[in-house]
Amino acid sequence: MTCFALTDKGIVRRQNQDVGYVNGTLAPDTALVLVCDGMGGARSGQVASQLAADVFVEKVSGLLQRYPSASAADLLQEAVKEANKAVFTKSQSDARYYGMGTTLVAALLRGTECCVLNVGDSRAYHISQRQIRRITRDHSVVAELVARGDITEEESLHHPNRNLITRALGTEESVRADTFFVTVAQGEYILLCSDGLSNMLSDSELLAELKNDCSIEAHCDNLVKSALIRGAPDNITVALCRR
């Protein structure tokens, strides 16, 4: 597997509260990919996303070494519990970080099997040469409105509450994370990103880029540059894995 992650603070924001992480050497034919998008003020958002990513990655790595045949969903759920506990504890013990939190989307690939976990509105996509499929469901106000039929997907892109999420890691003592399973064939991609990318580029534009014949690093660079060209009001992060 080939993996790469790239992040940029964007045009408007002064700090980058996103974290992107990839590791394709955890075990043979195994990769871990992650994106976090922090919230809670400039410093708090950075602390929340980095702490969550560090704890999550360390927990998954440790569990894989101890229980190599364990269920991917179980590994990711255990890791997100630890990450949530770490962020919540820090927010309660230090007034500077009170109320901070972060999104988290992660994918654990083992051979053709991929398990995805998410909290918040950072997304995961499964992309082949023919189609793109969004794996995750946003935990956001507008996603709930779209699901109820109150607004369309197109209207959600410009809704005044489009940045309000309904679930975040670290804001409460416990968190509920969703898990999904996909099969990834040779040459296909798993793409994770923060809303700084998904709000700027449509699914069809993401697919068009991944159809190009170039390196995985170039794909990430092209996606970030496309968001920057459109004004990039938020931090932009993409983490990409090609099997």
pLDDT digits (tens, 9 = 90+) for 135-179: 999 987 776 776 776 676 666 666 666 677 899 999 999 999 999
Q: Which pLDDT score, from 0 to 100, does residue 127 have?
A: 98
pTM of the model: 0.94
pLDDT digits (tens, 9 = 90+) for 183-197: 999 999 999 999 999
User: DSSP secondary-structure letter at 138?
Assistant: -
Task: Name which of 34-43, 114-123, 190-199, 202-211 the model is least confident about.
Answer: 34-43
Average pLDDT score over residue span 51-70? 96
Q: CA 83, CA 87: separation in Å to the nearest integer?
A: 6
Q: Which residues contact 97 (CB under 8 A, 6 or more apart)?
A: 40, 43, 44, 47, 48, 90, 91
pLDDT digits (tens, 9 = 90+) for 18-27: 999 999 888 8
Decide if 3 contacts 239 (C-beta within 8 A): yes
**Average pLDDT of the chain to the nearest whole number:** 93
140 or 3: which leads in pLDDT = 3
In this model, does residue 48 exceed pLDDT 70? Answer: yes
Q: Which pLDDT score, from 0 to 100, does residue 140 have?
A: 78
Strands (E) in 15-151, as ranges, are 18-27, 30-39, 101-102, 104-110, 113-119, 123-127, 132-134
Q: Which pLDDT score, from 0 to 100, does residue 150 have?
A: 60
In this model, does residue 39 exceed pLDDT 80? Answer: yes
In this model, does residue 123 exceed pLDDT 70? Answer: yes
Decide if 17 contacts 243 (C-beta within 8 A): no
